[in-house]
Amino acid sequence: MKLKRLRIEHFKRFRAPFEIDGFADGLNLFAAPNESGKSTVTEAIRAAFFERHRSTRVEHLRPWGDSAATPTVDVEFEMDSKRYRLTKAFLGKKRCDLTIEGQAPLDGVVAEDHLAQLLGFKFPGKGASAPEHMGIPGLLWIRQGTSHELAQAVTFAADQLRQVLGESLGELTSSGGDAVLQAVEAERNELLTPATGNPRGEFAAALQRKQELASTLSSLERDIAAYQGSVDRLATLRNDHLRDEQERPWASLREQLRSAQGRLDGAQGLQTRQESEQTALQQWRMQAASLRSELDAFARDDAAVTTRQKTLELRANAESAVIAEMQSWERRHAEQVAAEAQARRVLERVRAVGARVETSRAVAELANTVASMTDLLSRAREERTRLTRLQAEAEGLKVSPNDLEKILQLSSSLREVDVRLEAAATTLDFDLLEGQTLRMDDEQVSGRERRTVVGRTELFIEGVGRIAVQAGGETIAALMAQRESQSSEMGAMLRKLTVANPAQAQERARQAAQRLQDARASQKVLAALAPEGVDALEAELASRTLRMQEMRAALDELPEPDQADALLPNQAAALAEAGRALAALEDVVTQLNQSRVTAGQAQSEHATARQELAAAQATADDTQRAERIAAARQSLSDALAREAAAAHRLQATAAELQNVNLALLRQDVDRLTRSAEQLEDAHERRRQDIMRLEVDLETRGALGLEEQSAELRREQDAITRRAEELARLAAALDHLLSLLREKRSALARRLRAPLQKHSDRYLGILFPGARMEVSDDLSPGATTRLGPHGPESGEFEELSVGTREQMGIVARLAYADLLQEAGRPTLLILDDALVNTDDERLGQMKRVLYDAAQRHQVLIFTCHPAAWRDLGVAPRAIGG
Amino acid sequence: MALRLLHSADWQIGRIYSQFEPDDAAALFEARFTVVERLAALARERSADAVLVAGDVFDAQTVSDKTIRRLFNALSGYQGAWVMLPGNHDAALAESVWTRAHRLGVVSSNVITCLEPAIRIIGNRFAVLPAPLMQRHTYGDLTEWFSSASTPEGLPRIGLAHGCVQGVLADELDSANPIAANRAVTAGLDYLALGDWHGSRRLDERTWYAGTPETDRFRANDSGQALWVEVAAPGATPEVEVLQTGRYRWRQVEGRLAVSSDVDEVTRTLAGVGPEDVLQLRVSGVCDLNGQERLRQAVEAARARLRALVLESQELRLEPTDEDIASLRADGYVGEALAQLRNEQTGDESDKAREALVILARILNGRSNTSAAANTEARV
């Protein structure tokens, strides 16, 4: 397909008719700045083909602000060596005319559908055309900024591409083969897991159930076998039981047992006799021993009397010796008591003498102390009186330093005012005649006098009259007032201090200071005399005085001194003597007590020995004793005779017993008893076993084990059949699925081959040595290029936008080649399609495009004419 | 008056048919009770002196209590004597289905269970010499004692045994429970009622197998019957009449398919079956897709009509014709897959290939139907 001429009227930017004529068969480069109508041209081409002329959804095609216009596109093109002219008017006077060289013209929807069929696109059911309807032109006519988005465009064109590829390969495509494949896959995945092919769903359940049944059945079969075993055992037991019931094998054993028992009983009688004879012999022996010991006791009684007499003598001698020793200790005790009393008396006297001397000395010392303290106290009292006086005087004379200063200040100030007054005052010099007087105010003036006047002063001269003198100067009055106020203040101050003048005030202050100084001196004296105060001194004196009186009273209590005192030893010696005397006394007392105890013991032992002798004598003197001794002697000889007889009998029995083997007889009885019991027990056990087995079999029989197992086996057979059926089905489905996949994959490979060929050709120009896989859906897949580190592989979607843009165009060119080979019309429109491409790649892309333009008409719209200068065609302008 | 006996055997009560679907198996299980009721009705109608059951009354020793009760309930239609003999399935062991039945108290007084080899006089009309199996398998002839046993004068001697008559049934030569072939003669029996063989069978004029009254396997000739035996007087030759008692007809149908009309024959056979039929259909040979589908539909239709059906089609090979393939309209790679499956029909895994082919055909058929219904829809 080759565009020849395009005319636009009332179309968006082009209100006035606009025409492009003389499209080249190969490359056509339209260069124009932005907003100059490039996109309007491409949109007009799209509208002419893709939009129904009757569509109401194309308002946007109208020029702006012209709601009555009829956008019209008139396009002439060549296809299959035939000239086509398509005129389409929208919105206003809707119209579609198609003239085809050598054919009857078409119009309206028929014309539109004819073109759609030829070019490979669809019209929407209603509304404006969308990318999914645009098919092959949608793929080859690249809108601004979409050259890198390829997958969707390929999807929308897939049907047509498949058709084309299919045609080129003969009738190999399957009508809805994928739907069949999906159906098979779905059925297969119901029975097998998609990934591992393990049974699932009903198949897995059937296998599971089969296994469960097998295990249940085998356990049931074990039960049945056990049951049958029990039945057999029951039969055996019953037979054995019946046989024993009839034969009674234990009966003969019981008979043997009876005779063995008889023999044993006889032998056991002999042994009993031996035992009783043994007992009798033992008894006689004990009887004889007892009698012998009785006779021994009688002999011992006689010996005892002699022994006791000797003992008594020994005890009496011992007693008298001990008493003599005790008496000697008593004497020595009396002597030592007297000596100790004497030593104690001497010690007391020595102590009394010492006490008197000591007390007298203390009394004398105390008298001295009391005298000196009394003197000190009287002095302290005087000094305290003086201090009190001085403090009172000082208080009376006290002048506040502020007051004093104030007074002195006022006095000085008054003097100054007076001087100034004097200076300012009018001086009146009187030099009166003798005897003449005059009165100045109320004062008599006579002789030579000088007065100063500061105020209005009247001079009254008798007989003359009054002369009023008025002191001049303005300051007089002020000074007068100042003096008046200051002197009144001074007066008040002096009155407060009750002094006549400032000098008196000063004197009073000085006196007050003198008194204070005297008082401080007096205080120091008092502190020296009574550091803790006069009252404390008084108290201590009183206490000392009392103590002295007490000491004196104590001295009076002590004994009068004696002449013999001089002969007394000193106190230490006396004390030592008294101690020695006491220790000696204590020794004697201890010895005395000990000898007393010894004497008591000796006396008591003596008494005991006497009593013992008396008792022994009494026993020996008993009158019946002799009879008893005689009787005992008789009994003894009797017992000895009997003992000998018993020993003889025993010997005879033992000899008899030795001939009979008792142990063997016992073993016989034991053996026979056990045997009989075992047989009887076994018989009884068997009877119980039979009973238990019967009960057990009754219980188990009611379970209907074989019926159960038959029923289970039926289910097992059924489920086995089902599982086998499903296994067959699953295997068949699996086989079918892999077969279909294999065939489909082989077909896809065959289908892709031509596309791959064209793609390799263009890619070789762009990236020498590169290769792009074509995936099953015919969209570009993994791309392998030679990178700095060897071949690099990546999915199309992972490439950079620029690279994808270039690859997108390469892929589209490959599709175009393919379509052309299948005799389909091709037209490539690139609207600013390589904006993300760098100069170097753009250079390669120009080679690619130039190559493609040898076979296809290519329209390139750009706003960068400089970049395309070396494309080999002159750029054409649009608009104006 | 002649002695009139109804001779039956091998009731196999409690048998479960594992080769069938649950409901069919249940119905066949039930049929064994109903045939006993039918026997009772026959005995009553014909005023039998006794019913002889020659062993294998029960299929197993440990059937459920319910089954035992049901069997004895089924006897209630005939109040005369039921003389029952334990067989190899229900031998009179120390503990057996018989002892259980007695314990359950379901054995009424007119039922004589011959658990020991001892002569029984039934209603003072005849003497029974029973040879009960008392072990699961016996290798000696249990009927031997018949020859030396004496019975009251003037009463017919009727032997009752379960086992394999020696030298007659060639294929069971070395089986257990042997019975001497001339026992009736050597023991002076008027009639020897036998059980174990599931078809009715005459061995000599006095020795008969009754067969099972309700067929229970496909390969059993003359089963589903009972014998009416009349003995005019001791020593007289008994008159034996074969009575039909079974309800279900067990049949085996072999279909060897080679051409399309063979399928028609099989479908005709299937069309003729009724609710009393228990059918085993074994098809083999070669068949095209169309035939396979017709066969399938015929089988499904028959399955709904007859009592039970077992289909064995492992030997059937599927060979789609070119028309089959064309009608499937499989083009593109699906067509290639179809072609390969056809080739695999003769290979090692032909079963799998056949199954796969059937599935593919089914899916394609389904698709062509739906796409025909919706061919106005746009192709995607």
Distance from CA of A754 to the nearest CA of B (A): 18
* Three-state secondary structure string covering A724-777: HHHHHHHHHHHHHHHHHHHHHHHHHHHHHHHHHHHHHHHHHHHCCCCEEEECCC
Check whether residue A84 and residue A49 sit in a common domain: yes
Task: Note whether B61 contacts A704, CB cutoff 8 Å.
Answer: no
Task: Note whether B16 contacts A172, CB cutoff 8 Å.
Answer: no
Count contacts between A and B (CB, < 8 Å): 160
Smallest Cβ–Cβ distance between B94 and the set A183, A238, A733 belongs to: A238
Q: Kindly state whether residue A877 falls inside one of the protein's structural domains.
A: no
Task: Note whether B330 contacts A174, CB cutoff 8 Å.
Answer: yes
Which residues 302-341 on chain B approach chain A with CB closer than 8 angstroms? 329-337, 340-341
Check whether residue A459 and residue A475 sit in a common domain: yes
Which pLDDT tens digit goes with each residue over A618-672?
887 777 888 888 888 888 888 888 888 888 888 888 887 777 777 888 888 899 8
CA B334/CA A175 separation, integer angstroms: 9
pLDDT for residue B380: 28
Confidence band (pLDDT; 50, 70, 90) for B251? Answer: confident
Q: Kindly state whether residue B379 falls inside one of the protein's structural domains.
A: no
Distance from CA of A194 to the nearest CA of B (A): 18
pLDDT for residue A170: 41
Q: Does A232 touch chain B (CB under 8 A)?
A: yes
The residue that leads in pLDDT, B375 or A583, is: A583
Check whether residue A492 and residue A512 sit in a common domain: no
Check whether residue A302 and residue A216 sit in a common domain: no
pLDDT for residue B243: 92
Residues of B in contact with A714 (CB under 8 A): 16-18, 20, 22, 25
Q: Is the pLDDT of residue A286 over 60?
A: yes
Q: Is the pLDDT of residue A806 over 90?
A: no
Q: Which residue of B has its CA nearest to A236?
A: B94
Which residues 91-130 on chain B approach chain A with CB closer than 8 angstroms? 93-97, 100, 103
Q: Does A701 touch chain B (CB under 8 A)?
A: yes
Expressed as residue numbers, the domain containing A288 is: 272-390+504-658
Distance from CA of B362 to the nearest CA of A (A): 10
Confidence band (pLDDT; 50, 70, 90) for A879? Answer: low
Task: Note whether B355 contacts A728, CB cutoff 8 Å.
Answer: yes
Check whether residue B170 and residue B28 sit in a common domain: yes
- CB distance A552 to A363 below 8 Å: yes
CA A509/CA A503 separation, integer angstroms: 10
Q: Does B360 touch chain A (CB under 8 A)?
A: yes
Q: Does B19 touch chain A (CB under 8 A)?
A: yes
DSSP letter (8 states) at residue B156: P
Q: How far is CA A269 from CA A256, A263, A272, A647, A653, in A?
A: 21, 10, 5, 19, 11
Distance from CA of A58 to the nearest CA of B (A): 25
Q: Is the pLDDT of residue A169 over 90?
A: no
Q: What CATH number should be reported for the domain holding residue B205? A: 3.60.21.10
Smallest Cβ–Cβ distance between A180 and the set B63, B136, B364 belongs to: B364
pLDDT for residue B375: 38
Q: Kindly state whether residue B208 falls inside one of the protein's structural domains.
A: yes
Smallest Cβ–Cβ distance between B16 and the set A224, A710, A732 belongs to: A710
Query: Averaged over A367-381, what is the pLDDT?
Result: 88
Distance from CA of B185 to the nearest CA of A (A): 34
Check whether residue A517 and residue A463 sit in a common domain: no
Q: Which of A483, A503, A523 is the C-terminal boundary of a domain?
A: A503
Residues of B in contact with A174 (CB under 8 A): 330-335
> Beta strand A2-9 with A18-21: parallel, antiparallel or unpaired?
antiparallel
Check whether residue B213 and residue B91 sit in a common domain: yes
Smallest Cβ–Cβ distance between A706 and the set B61, B340, B354 belongs to: B61
CA A516/CA A387 separation, integer angstroms: 10
Nearest to A568 by CA among A339, A340, A347, A338: A347
Smallest Cβ–Cβ distance between A171 and the set B94, B331, B334 belongs to: B331
Q: Does A746 touch chain B (CB under 8 A)?
A: yes
Q: What CATH number should be reported for the domain holding residue A101? A: 3.40.50.300
Our measurement of the distance from residue A90's CA atom to the centroid of its chain's CA atoms, rounded to an integer in Å, reads: 78
Query: Averaged over A273-286, what is the pLDDT?
Result: 88
Which pLDDT tens digit goes with each residue over A431-445?
888 888 888 877 888
CA B212/CA B194 separation, integer angstroms: 11
The residue that leads in pLDDT, A530 or B75, is: B75
Q: Does B25 touch chain A (CB under 8 A)?
A: yes
Q: Which of B244, B272, B292 is the C-terminal boundary of a domain?
A: B244
Q: Is the pLDDT of residue B174 over 70?
A: no
- CB distance B61 to A698 below 8 Å: no
Q: Is the pLDDT of residue A821 over 50?
A: yes
Q: Is the pLDDT of residue B377 over 70?
A: no
Check whether residue B253 and residue B233 sit in a common domain: no
Count how many domains chain A has: 4
Q: Which of A638, A658, A678 is the C-terminal boundary of a domain?
A: A658
Q: Kindly state whether residue A261 falls inside one of the protein's structural domains.
A: no
Q: Kindly state whether residue A220 falls inside one of the protein's structural domains.
A: yes
Return the H-helix or E-strand segment holding A716: helix A705-766
Which pLDDT tens digit goes with each residue over A73-95?
999 998 888 899 999 998 888 88
Q: Is the pLDDT of residue A171 over 60?
A: no
Q: Kindly state whether residue B281 falls inside one of the protein's structural domains.
A: yes
Looking at chain B, the whole-number percentage of residues with pLDDT higher than 90 is 30
Check whether residue A360 and residue A380 sit in a common domain: yes
Check whether residue A134 and residue A204 sit in a common domain: no
Q: Is the pLDDT of residue A698 over 70?
A: yes
Confidence band (pLDDT; 50, 70, 90) for A167? Answer: low
Task: Note whether B363 contacts A732, CB cutoff 8 Å.
Answer: no
Q: Is the pLDDT of residue B36 over 70?
A: yes
Query: Averaged over B132-155, what is the pLDDT?
Result: 87
- CB distance B305 to A148 below 8 Å: no
Check whether residue A405 and residue A476 sit in a common domain: yes
pLDDT for residue B171: 57
Check whether residue B234 and residue B291 sit in a common domain: no
Q: Kindly state whether residue A157 falls inside one of the protein's structural domains.
A: no
Confidence band (pLDDT; 50, 70, 90) for B240? Answer: very high
Q: Kindly state whether residue B83 falls inside one of the protein's structural domains.
A: yes
**What b/e readout covers A554-563, taking b as 16+ CB neighbours within 10 angstroms?**
eeeeeeeeee
Check whether residue B163 and residue B86 sit in a common domain: yes
- CB distance A390 to A519 below 8 Å: yes
Q: Which of B244, B276, B303 is the C-terminal boundary of a domain?
A: B244
Expressed as residue numbers, the domain containing B199 is: 3-244
Q: In 10 A of CB A853, how many CB atoms?
A: 21
Query: Averaged over A169-196, what is the pLDDT?
Result: 73
Q: Kindly state whether residue B380 falls inside one of the protein's structural domains.
A: no
- CB distance B85 to B131 below 8 Å: yes
pLDDT for residue B86: 93
Helix (H, G, I), strand (E, B) or coil at B175: coil
Check whether residue A277 and residue A243 sit in a common domain: no
Q: In 10 A of CB B371, how many CB atoms?
A: 15
Task: Note whether B18 contacts A717, CB cutoff 8 Å.
Answer: yes
Residues of B in contact with A181 (CB under 8 A): 334
Q: Kindly state whether residue A263 falls inside one of the protein's structural domains.
A: no
Which pLDDT tens digit goes with each residue over A839-855?
888 888 888 888 888 88
Check whether residue A616 and residue A696 sit in a common domain: no
Q: Kindly state whether residue A163 falls inside one of the protein's structural domains.
A: no
Q: Does A736 touch chain B (CB under 8 A)?
A: yes
Check whether residue B52 and residue B153 sit in a common domain: yes
Nearest to A562 by CA among A392, A353, A756: A353
Q: Does A706 touch chain B (CB under 8 A)?
A: yes
Q: Which of B218, B244, B270 is the C-terminal boundary of a domain?
A: B244
pLDDT for residue A175: 54
Q: Kindly state whether residue B12 falls inside one of the protein's structural domains.
A: yes
Q: Is the pLDDT of residue B155 over 80?
A: yes
Residues of B in contact with A746 (CB under 8 A): 333, 336
Residues of B in contact with A698 (CB under 8 A): 95, 100, 103
Check whether residue A651 and residue A668 sit in a common domain: no
Smallest Cβ–Cβ distance between A732 and the set B329, B359, B367 belongs to: B359
Of A178-182, A237-241, A634-638, least confident by mean pLDDT is A178-182
Task: Note whether B64 contacts A708, CB cutoff 8 Å.
Answer: yes
Smallest Cβ–Cβ distance between B333 and the set A183, A705, A743 belongs to: A743
Most confident of A23-32, A188-197, B83-92: B83-92
Check whether residue B105 and residue B35 sit in a common domain: yes
Query: Averaged over A285-292, what is the pLDDT?
Result: 89
Check whether residue B137 and residue B226 sit in a common domain: yes
Count how many domains chain B has: 2
pLDDT for residue A76: 92
Query: Averaged over B176-187, what is the pLDDT?
Result: 86
Query: Averaged over B128-149, what is the pLDDT?
Result: 87
Q: Is the pLDDT of residue B317 over 80?
A: no
The pair of structure tokens assigned to A241 is 């039981």
Q: Kindly state whether residue B86 falls inside one of the protein's structural domains.
A: yes
Q: Kindly state whether residue A192 falls inside one of the protein's structural domains.
A: yes
- CB distance B211 to B162 below 8 Å: no
Check whether residue B218 and residue B329 sit in a common domain: no
Q: Does B14 touch chain A (CB under 8 A)?
A: yes
pLDDT for residue A649: 87
Q: Kindly state whether residue A772 falls inside one of the protein's structural domains.
A: no
Paired residues of B271 in beta bridges: none
Check whether residue B15 and residue B77 sit in a common domain: yes
Q: Which of A503, A523, A544 is the C-terminal boundary of a domain?
A: A503
The residue that leads in pLDDT, A429 or A148, is: A429
Which pLDDT tens digit goes with each residue over A712-762?
888 888 888 888 888 888 888 888 888 888 887 777 777 677 778 888 888
pLDDT for residue A576: 87
Of A35-49, A235-249, B143-157, B363-377, least confident by mean pLDDT is B363-377
Q: Does A708 touch chain B (CB under 8 A)?
A: yes
Q: Is the pLDDT of residue A176 over 70?
A: no
Which distant-in-sequence residues (6+ apart) come within 8 Å of A82 by Cβ?
A100, A101, A102, A103
Smallest Cβ–Cβ distance between A177 and the set B14, B332, B379 belongs to: B332
Q: Is the pLDDT of residue A492 over 60?
A: yes
Check whether residue A375 and residue A523 sit in a common domain: yes
Round the CA-based radius of gyration of chain A to a whole number and report it.
83
Check whether residue B157 and residue B305 sit in a common domain: no
Confidence band (pLDDT; 50, 70, 90) for B378? Answer: very low
Task: Note whether B63 contacts A704, CB cutoff 8 Å.
Answer: yes
Q: Kindly state whether residue B51 falls inside one of the protein's structural domains.
A: yes
Check whether residue B86 and residue B187 sit in a common domain: yes
Task: Note whether B337 contacts A740, CB cutoff 8 Å.
Answer: yes
CB-neighbour burial class of residue B67 (10 A; exposed 0-12, middle 13-18, buried 19+)? buried
- Supply the DSSP string of A380-396, one letter for each residue: HHHHHHHHHHHHHHHHH
